[in-house]
């Protein structure tokens, strides 16, 4: 079971790192670089700060659920 939890924690840290990079790095630190790119009438930096990080978070939730189902099958703890 320790292998299962190690794989689970690794997946959690990867998901958190992607979310942090998107919400902080792209939305805050790269805002000035992304200002010239337009998405739906707003600049890309504003879009990441307002909507992009939320959409990435929702995508991460679905990714995490799918990956956990695969881990459950791999380690024999799949729910019926």
DSSP 8-34: HHHHHHHHHHHHHIIIIIIIIITHHHH
Residue 62 lies in a domain: yes
User: pTM here?
Assistant: 0.77
Give per-residue pLDDT as tens, 57-77.
899 999 999 999 999 999 988
Long-range contacts, stretch 58-61, CB < 8 angstroms, 24+ apart: 60/15, 60/18, 60/19
- Domains contained in the chain, number: 1
Pull the structure tokens for residue 56. Answer: 């990435």
- Spatial contact of 71 and 14, defined as CB atoms under 8 Å apart: no
Segments forming the whole domain that contains residue 69: 2-75
- Spatial contact of 3 and 75, defined as CB atoms under 8 Å apart: yes
Give per-residue pLDDT as tens, 26-69.
777 877 787 888 878 888 877 777 777 788 889 999 999 999 99
Residue 80 lies in a domain: no
């Amino acid at each position: 079971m320790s292998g299962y939890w190690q794989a689970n924690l690794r997946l959690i840290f990867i998901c958190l790192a992607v979310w942090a990079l998107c919400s902080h790095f792209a939305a805050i630190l790269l805002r000035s670089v992304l200002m010239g790119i337009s998405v739906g009438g707003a600049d890309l930096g504003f879009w990441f700060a307002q909507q992009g990080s939320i959409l990435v978070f929702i995508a991460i939730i679905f990714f995490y659920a799918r990956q956990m189902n695969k881990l459950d099958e791999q380690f024999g703890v799949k729910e019926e």
